[in-house]
Amino acid sequence: MNQEMKATMVIDKSYEISEIDQRMFGSFIEQLGRAVYGGIYEPEHEMADENGFRRDVMQLVKDLQVPIVRYPGGNMVSGYNWEDGVGPKEDRPKRLELAWRTIEPNLFGTNEFAEWAKKVNSEVMMAVNLGTRGIDAARNLIEYTNHPRGTYWSDLRRQHGFEQPHNIKTWCLGNEMDGPWQIGQKTAVEYGRLAKETGKAMKLVDPDIELVACGSSHAGMPTFPEYDATTLDIAYDQVDYISLHQYYGNYSNDTANYLAKNMDMDQFIHSVTSTCDYIKAKHRSNKTINLSFDEWNVWYHSSDKDKQIEPWQIGPPQLEDVYNFEDALLVGSMLITLLRNADRVKIACLAQLVNVIGPIMTENNGAAWKQTIYYPYMHASIFGRGTSLKPVLHAPKYDSKDYSDVPYVDSAIVKNDEENTLTIFAVNKHLTESILLEADLRSFEGYSFIEHIVLDHDDLKATNTAGHEAVKPRKLNKVELRDGSLRIDLPKTSWNVIRLKKS
């Protein structure tokens, strides 16, 4: 190996960041565009099961091992009447869905989603409407989903064919309530009060649930982080997590700058963590509020196309970003950032899952296929379970338009004691050079190399289509592992998964 560029790393068993909460690899289905209609639900499709769920899509979701899926929104939840989506389908009303200006036929609702989630081995993360509705609708919904029997709403669920409660444990108190685009936008004080009282009533129905309060819609909101601080100050005792949302795009076609954007995500996480801890100190509380990064992804390719879509359609092709190879690299770096903050980020949802800014795409009545971002997400979800370790990493750096001292190599390390494995996730952001990674693994005696999975492509703008998967992982075998020292090549602009196992 004659590389000019080298990164060194020390990985030690004792450098533990935290156990990784498996909900870090969650995703999101919003009742929006073709996420549900034509995505996960298409009764006329030849692959549909007895519930109308597409089997081909379910298989792609199962392969991702998605532990939790947020539902039904998103912006949509702020105008949603959950009662419209339960009971006999022929009685369900069609409504104007105001967040995305579509027609919502309500052929798919809470029970269908709970059923679908069970089939793909995921938990449900349910959001309640704190835009147009509030305490009453939320306490009724949780009685419907979680109470066993013998009351109006729980017996209605049983009458609807669901004898057993869905037992949903993780709940979002509204969505992006600070945003002017949100139906029923609220000031921090208005929202804090409503979140507190709604959370209180919901926990009276089921004390075992966990509640996520809305933080700011993104780090660039003018009221960030004051909105988060005020909300927490008011609702501290009732809530368990605060939400973060962030999307990135390569608007100026500057790849070096684009690939550095996970540094911004890291900064956002640290700012919200500090805000939580400030309120904790202010309350002299022993309780720690953790982070639910329940919307994150790349989102920008579809913005112009969406402006052409006529309103008031059922399942129009909204937010259908077609991801390229460089997007997969940034998604990989964002996953690395989440893993490196596993001590405070307990829940995270790649937004979204199918068709709408999703790793999975479908054609109505046709194929289902994997976007470029499917792969880093799948690798992190499958191999990222266990304990996150802090790598002591020295990599060459660069400056970009908005960021200084960007390391060319990003890395996160996961040790899994049950399976005796060690996984190194690494992104090489260098546009032209491969980088030699030298890792000191002396505390992992007896571990041997299993595989080096690489996602790379000569064309940063390469995309996948239904008929052709241009961007897919390959395996490399050029590795030296001797006397506790690993030497491995990270190809230029690549996502890497290096797996070791104790023999």
Residues designated as active site = 176, 295
Residue of minimal Cβ distance to ligand AHR = 74
Do the Cβ atoms of 234 and 199 come closer than 8 Å?
no
Q: Is 352 one of the binding residues for ligand AHR (CB under 6 A)?
A: yes
Report the alpha-carbon distance of residue 302 to residue 354 in Å, rounded. 14
Q: How far is the CB of 442 from ligand AHR (least distance, A)?
A: 44
Binding mask 11-40 for ligand AHR (x = CB under 6 A): -------------------x----------
Output the smallest distance, CB 251 to ligand AHR, in A.
Answer: 17
DSSP 186-237: --HHHHHHHHHHHHHHHHHH-TT-EEEE---SSTT-TTTTHHHHHHHHHHTT
Give the shortest CB-134-to-ligand AHR separation in angstroms: 19
Residue choice 38, 74, 315, 386 for contact with ligand AHR (CB under 6 A) = 74
Q: What is the dihedral of CA 265, 266, 267, 268, to 10 degrees?
A: 50
Q: Is the CA virtual torsion 37, 305, 268, 258 positive or negative?
A: positive
Cα–Cα distance for residue pair 488/436, rounded to 1 Å: 6
Distance of alpha carbon 353 from alpha carbon 122, whole angstroms:
13
Q: What is the distance between the alpha carbons of residues 111 and 208, in angstroms, rounded to a whole number?
A: 20
State both tokens at 303.
């913005």
350 alpha-carbon distance from chain centroid: 2
In whole angstroms, give the CA distance from residue 203 to residue 139: 9
Smallest distance, ligand AHR to C-beta of residue 99, A: 7
Site string for ligand AHR, 245-284 (x = CB under 6 A): x---------------------------------------
281 contact partners, CB below 8 Å, separation of at least 6: none
User: Which residue, 48 or 322, has its beta carbon nearer to ligand AHR?
Assistant: 322
- Of 70-78, 283-291, 368-376, 443-451, which segment contacts ligand AHR by CB under 6 A? 70-78
From 7, 66, 338, 351, residue interacting with ligand AHR (rule: CB under 6 A): 351
Choose one: 68-76, 189-197, 300-308, 363-371; the region binding ligand AHR (CB under 6 A): 68-76
242 vs 439, beta carbon nearer ligand AHR: 242
By the rule CB under 6 A, 175 interacts with ligand AHR: yes
Stretch that binds ligand AHR, among 71-79, 309-317, 370-378, 473-481 (CB under 6 A): 71-79
Handedness of CA 143, 146, 147, 152 (dihedral sign): positive
Q: Give me the least distance between CB of 468 and ligand AHR, in Å please.
A: 27
Q: Counting contacts by CB under 6 A, is residue 324 touching ligand AHR?
A: no
Chain-centroid distance, C-alpha 499: 23
Closest to ligand AHR by CB, 72 or 376: 72
Instruction: Tell whether residue 75 is a contact of ligand AHR (CB under 6 A).
Output: yes
Rounded least distance, CB 272 to ligand AHR, Å: 16
Q: What angle do CA 133, 138, 143 make, to 5 degrees?
A: 150
Residue with tokens 């020295």: 394
- What's the CA gap between 27 and 350, in Å, rounded? 5
295 touching ligand AHR, by CB under 6 A: yes
Which tokens hold the place of 158? 């049983």
Of the candidate spans 67-75, 194-202, 252-260, 331-339, the one that interacts with ligand AHR by CB under 6 A turns out to be: 67-75
**CA–CA gap between residue 339 and residue 410 (Å, rounded):** 11
Shortest Å, Cβ 48 to ligand AHR: 25
Q: Which residues contact 407 (CB under 8 A, 6 or more apart)?
A: 7, 393, 395, 396, 397, 429
Taking CB under 6 A as the criterion, the residue among 176, 228, 327, 456 binding ligand AHR is 176
x-or-dash string of contact with ligand AHR, 192-231, rule CB under 6 A = ----------------------------------------
Binding residues for ligand AHR, how many (CB under 6 A)? Answer: 10
376 contributes a contact to ligand AHR by CB under 6 A: no
Give 30 or 112: the residue with its C-beta nearer to ligand AHR.
Answer: 30
> Which is nearer to ligand AHR, 255 or 318 (by Cβ)?
318
> Which of residues 96 and 367 has its CB atom nearest to ligand AHR in the complex?
96
Q: 236 or 296, CB closer to ligand AHR? A: 296
What is the per-residue binding string for ligand AHR in 408-447, x denoting contact by CB under 6 A? ----------------------------------------
Residue 174 or 391: the one with the smaller Cβ distance to ligand AHR is: 174
If the CB atoms of residues 67 and 74 are measured against ligand AHR, the closer one turns out to be 74
Is residue 104 part of the contact set for ligand AHR (CB under 6 A)? no
Map tokens 């390569």 to a residue: 250
Minimum distance, C-beta of residue 359 to ligand AHR, in the bound complex (Å): 13
- What is the C-alpha separation between 414 and 420, in angstroms, rounded? 11
Write the CA distances from 394 to 60, 201, 241, 262, 267, integer angstroms: 37, 50, 33, 18, 20
480 has which bridge partners? 487
Q: Which is nearer to ligand AHR, 11 or 172 (CB)?
A: 172
What letters, b where the CB count within 10 A reaches 16 and e where it falls short, cover 1-36? eeeebebebbbbeebebbebbbbbbbbbbbbbbbbb
Residues that bind ligand AHR (CB under 6 A): 30, 73-75, 175-176, 245, 295, 351-352
